[in-house]
Structure formats: C-alpha cells, structure tokens
Structure 1
Amino acid sequence: MSQVAASSSSQGSGAPGPSTASSSQSGHSSSKVDLSLVNRGIWLVKVPKYLAERWARIPGNVEAGKLKIYKSNSGGGKPKVTLSLSEATICAKEAGDDDIPKEHDLIATAVTNQTMVAFDVESGAQDEDPEKLSVLGKVHQKLECRPVYDTNYMQLKKTAIHKASQPTRQVKQLDRVVQSYKPVSDHKNNKEYEERKKAEGKKARDDKEKVLEMLFSAFEKHQYYNVKDLVRITNQPVGYLKEVLKEVCNYCVKNPHKNMWELKPEYRHYKMETDD
C-alpha cells in the first residue's frame, strides 16, 4: 500500500510553530520553512500499490477521481467516503496490466497521540533559494482506500497471486553456445610449476662420495640444516639424500632444532661446548 496526503505532493511530521522555521530542525537545504498553512486540516490516504502506479502515469492537471461523502443516518455515526476513479486513471495502464476496480471505499480513522504534517518542496532560483519548503497542513484524518470486491478486483488478485507463485529461476533450453567459465583439468599456476620443474630437469643420483663431499662442505658453514635446504644444495632426490644423511647425520626430534639434521659426533670438526 502507498500513502498520499490530500492536496500535497509529499508528507512529513512535526509540531505546529511560528510562521518560519530554521532548516537545521527540518534537515532541509532551504533557509526557512513556510508555516502559514500549518493549521489547515488535510487527509492522509493509504492507497493500493496498483492505484499509486496509475496515478504516477497521468499528468498532474488531469482528474484522477472523485470523492463522495455520505452523511450518516445516525447523528453520531461516521460519514461514508467513497472514491470513484476517472477514465484517465483506469486507462493509464501498460501492456499486460489487468483492469483495476473503479469504485473504492475509504475507511477513516482519527489521528490521536501524534502530530503529522505534510510538506511541499518547490524548486526556485539557484542563485537565491534553490528550494522552497512549505507546510501544506496538519493531518486530521487517516484513511485507507479499499477496493470494492468486483470482477476486476478478483482478476487483479488472481494475477498477483499467480505472479507471486512463479519461481524466480526457471530451466531454459539453450539454442547456442554460451560464453562462460567452464571447469578445467588443471590450473595455470600448476602448469607453470610443472613447466619450471621440467626446465630444471629431473634430479639424477650422483655418486655417493660426491654427495658426501657436498654435505660436509655445507655443514662446515652451518651446524643444522632442514632437508629442503640440503635438497637445494645437493640437487639430489629426497629419498636418496635421506639415505645418505642417515649414515653421517642425526635427525633432531627436540627443540630448538626440531626436524633438522646435524652431523654425527665422529664426523664433526668443531669442538663441543662444555660447561666450566
């Protein structure tokens, strides 16, 4: 449902005040707010969405409909209010739109414990006052526009229910190739890695004495190594290198050199640290 205020283009809320108000209170760019009509009574009408869409399509100078107010037979009863749409509103439909009901009832409720005010914004000269903000009146009645349940309304609701029940995604048969991302057997980074490995060539086993020579030379520089660094230094297969390491090295399983290799005592050429 949409809400429209009688004799206004927009709505707002606020308490009555003097003839002008500062923009800091209203949050508007205009320097002053015209409050000359703040005490005028207006209606705030809640209308169905289909009716608000039709009214948005017709020009502002065209008759949108007629209100009829019937006095109640009993003195204390509320008057009956009806809305009859004009032909311009009924005919302002787009392709695929159903006919809408012409007659509507307006159910009124009193505004209590709150103050509601309708505002209007009028564009002005850019060099003086870009926009003029004025109050059109205070809401005295709130009304809900309800359609009369006729054939047009039933067809309208049937169409709305049918559209709401349609799934948002449907299976569609393709008659052409659609350009999209498809699964690949291998990714680019994996291919680059494999190409780099091929360019380096397959690691071949060197003579054991040559491997030992490279290991001893490396351990002269550092006491501890992990297996990755030793593979890089010797350029030997991991399995073969570990076989050689087990002969001349110990594998550390405790911190601070966990998972690293160190020469066995009989192959070391440095002095062990002793406590004094």
Structure 2
Amino acid sequence: MTHVEKELDVTSCSRGLWLVKIPKYMREKWAECGGCDAGKLKIAKVPGKIPTVTFASSEQLLEDGKIAHEHKFILHSVKEMTLGVFSQTVSAANPDAVVPETEKLLMEGQVIQKFECQPVVDKNYLDQKRAAVLKAAQPNRKAEFIDRPVHVYRPISHHKHTIDSELKKKAEGKKARDDKDKVMEMLYAAFEKHQYYNIKDLQKITKQPIMHLKEILKEVCDYNVKNPHKNMWELKPEYRHYKSEEAVVDDPPSD
C-alpha cells in the first residue's frame, strides 16, 4: 500500500480563535437565516476583570419570537488544553466526494478562549420555554369523535399467535399430578438407564407439572451445583441400585 503524505498549511496557526458552544435552537435559527446577519457581539472590557461578552440576535431572527434576544458567554478555561481548528476544501460540484489525497490541509488557528452561550432570561426566552414545555406535554395520540362508521379498520379479537398458543395447549392437554409412588417409579426406571438428568428431560419423561416434580426430586435426588454435572439431578446414595463395575481377577493357579 502506497503512503501519500499531505501538506499542512500552517500560515494561520498563530491566529487566535474562540470556541463557542451554542444552544440547539440557535444553530437551527442560524441555518435558516441564510446570508443575513445573525446578530452582534459585544465585548465590554473592564481593567483587572474578565471581559463581559454578550450576543444580541438580529431583528430578523426575532420576528417569530422563538429565540432569546440576548445571550451571555460563560468563559471556560483552556489552560490545560491545546485546541486547534483545521479545514479541508471539498469540491463544490460533488460535496459528498472524497477529498483527493493531494489536497492541502489548512490550520485556521488555535483556540485561545472557550465559551458557553447561555440565554438571558427575558420575555422571548420565557415564551420559548413555555412553548417547548406545552409541546412536550402533548400526547402522541389523541381520541377523535367519529360521527360515522369506519369500514376501513376491523379489529381482530383472535390473532394468529394467540390461536396457535391455544391449539398447542389443547394438543398437550393440562398436565395433571400423578400419584407420588407412580412418579417415583418412573424416576427410578429413568435413572436405571442414566445416572444424571436435567429437569426438562425428567419433565418430558414423567409429564408432571414442574413444581410437583421438584418436590419429589428433592426427596429422592441430589442436585449438582458443581462441574462436571452442574445443574443435573442424580439419585441419592440410598436409592441407587447401579451394577458394580469392579473388575474380576482370577486367582493365579497354584503350583
């Protein structure tokens, strides 16, 4: 893979820039205003104090009354941060096109001040917040009065998944509790074939409700909580009747 180096234009690297976080509604209004003036920035310098920075929105943005008239800039420290602004031009013919590798990168400057833009409480701001609260309180669905029957929509009382579930229950039938001795006989017969079972397999064999089966298992079986037979049931030692697997060795012939 070939590596293509890009040149970084640092002609403007010494230029100081402000990084300002603005509310979402301001961003939307600025995008709507097009090429008109968004407002005016005022900087009041007082000797020995941090300058006071305010932003007054233009009259064109205030026409619909959905934005505060004035905003104040809250200063945040950037002493322990190094922030820069970089840019790269994109072809006007195709804004979504990938920028060619030969394109130069530009450093527009470094951030020397970081601000957060907050609205100054006034009538416009209160009206805006009231409208936002009322909009959020509106329900997504509303009941409407209908003066004539609607033939387009027909409610369905039995859905497919409900019908399938009912048919399955009827096919399986309600699991009735068998006599305890009968269940134990089925368990003993099962454990003669295998030493370990999980609860699902035993339920299939006995066809008993899970709670009833567990009550009987606790009397005659042990539940393994450790490997290699974790979560498996086996008969208690006093109920086991496994064949002995001891090897039989013939006595050596006598001389």
Q: Give the TM-score normalised by the residue count of structure 2.
A: 0.52
Structure 1 pair 184–55 and aligned structure 2 pair: CA distance change class (3 A): closer
1:58 aligned residue (9, 26, 33): 33
Letter in 2 for 1:63: D
Structure 1 pair 101–169 and aligned structure 2 pair: CA distance change class (3 A): closer
Letter in 2 for 1:104: H
Letter in 2 for 1:146: Q
Question: How far is the alpha carbon of 1:188 from its aligned partner?
Answer: 6.6
The equivalent of 1:102 in structure 2 is: 69
Q: Give the distance between the partners of 2:106 and 2:155, measured in 1 at CA.
A: 55
- Structure 1: state its 5+ residue gaps: 1-23, 195-250, 260-276
Q: Give the distance between the partners of 2:139 and 2:8, measured in 1 at CA.
A: 46
Aligned identity (percent) is: 32
8 Å CA contact 1:107–1:145 kept in 2: the answer is: yes
Question: How far is the alpha carbon of 1:57 from its aligned partner?
Answer: 1.2
Question: How far is the alpha carbon of 1:256 from its aligned partner?
Answer: 6.1
Q: Give the distance between the partners of 2:98 and 2:118, measured in 1 at CA.
A: 46
1:120 aligned residue (78, 87, 101): 87
The equivalent of 2:78 in structure 1 is: 111
Letter in 1 for 2:23: P
The equivalent of 1:262 in structure 2 is: none
The equivalent of 1:129 in structure 2 is: 100
Q: Give the distance between the partners of 1:142 and 1:148, measured in 2 at CA.
A: 19
8 Å CA contact 1:123–1:132 kept in 2: the answer is: no
Once the two structures are superposed, what CA deviation does each residue of 1:147-172 show, in whole Å capped at 9, x if it has no partner? 222111111112222333x2654453
8 Å CA contact 1:81–1:106 kept in 2: the answer is: yes
8 Å CA contact 2:69–2:122 kept in 1: the answer is: no
Question: How far is the alpha carbon of 1:67 from its aligned partner?
Answer: 1.0
Letter in 2 for 1:138: Q
Q: Secondary structure at the match of 1:158?
A: helix
8 Å CA contact 1:30–1:133 kept in 2: the answer is: no
- Structure 2: state its 5+ residue gaps: 171-185, 195-204, 206-255
Q: Give the distance between the partners of 2:98 and 2:143, measured in 1 at CA.
A: 57
The equivalent of 2:118 in structure 1 is: 146
Q: Does 1:71 align with 2:37?
A: no
Question: How far is the alpha carbon of 1:31 from its aligned partner?
Answer: 3.4
Question: How far is the alpha carbon of 1:100 from its aligned partner?
Answer: 1.7
Structure 1 pair 118–170 and aligned structure 2 pair: CA distance change class (3 A): same
Q: Give the distance between the partners of 1:127 and 1:150, measured in 2 at CA.
A: 46
Structure 1 pair 257–66 and aligned structure 2 pair: CA distance change class (3 A): closer
How many residue pairs align between the two structures?
170
8 Å CA contact 1:120–1:135 kept in 2: the answer is: yes
Structure 1 pair 51–179 and aligned structure 2 pair: CA distance change class (3 A): farther
8 Å CA contact 2:69–2:125 kept in 1: the answer is: no
